[in-house]
Amino acid sequence: MNLRKSLMAVIALTALAGCDRKEAARPAAPAQQEARATAGTIVAVGDSLTAGYGLDEHDAYPAQLERLLREAGRPWRVVNAGISGETSSGALSRVNWVLTLKPDIVILVTGANDGLRGIDPKVTEKNLDEMVRTLKERNVTVVLGGMKMVANLGRDYTRAFAAVYPAVAKRHDLILIPFFLEGVAGRPDLNQADGIHPTAEGYRIVSDTVLPYVIKAIEQTPPSGG
């Protein structure tokens, strides 16, 4: 990565943590409001990358994922429970609220803001462990989205950060998306002007990436009809 790209990456990651706190005030509404039959409920938990910062709700990945699932004959509802600027500690603090949504499956994509702030990866790992443990105790199937940090934070840190997600997935026997932003991160044509938040087209690719892992989770989860 050359100096210009490195600087752009730092600026972009700063934007991730400094998202408009007005948007972060509450979780986004369910991806689809229509009253229609569903086989179960998927709750997408995360930060601005889940909330769809800068876009209309129907362009964020949870809404796009729901459309893909229905096109594939999987009528599952996907609830967008992303909050911009949230760290893994913030996500942990509201895990019991997430359970009030009665999820059958949770897609957990959190920790990017931890990395930006230089939080010890051990703290992120501990938070993920506690969230996963709480969800699994309630028989919720968890799909964990892996994240990576830019090299500017140092090789040791970026390696330790990236290792958190496969370690948690292995320990709890989770379905792991190796890198949530695969094919999108670092591509100006697929990200907004801040360089880190995907465009609608970027989220289409994210949704395509996430889809097979979610279908695998659905196949492991008895339908609730909710």
**Would you name the residues annotated as active-site residues?**
48, 194, 197
Task: Identify the CA nearest to 31 among candidates 11, 8, 3, 55.
Answer: 55
CB 181 within 8 Å of CB 146: no
| Angstrom distance (rounded) from CA 99 to CA 18 | 27
| Angstrom distance (rounded) from CA 49 to CA 152 | 21
The residue with tokens 């379905």 is 175
81 strand-pairing partners: 45
| Angstrom distance (rounded) from CA 122 to CA 135 | 20
- 167's CB contacts (< 8 A; 6+ apart) are 125
Quote the DSSP letter at residue 72: T
176 strand-pairing partners: 144
| Angstrom distance (rounded) from CA 44 to CA 160 | 25
| Total residues found in the chain within this entry | 226
| Angstrom distance (rounded) from CA 149 to CA 186 | 11
CB 24 within 8 Å of CB 83: yes
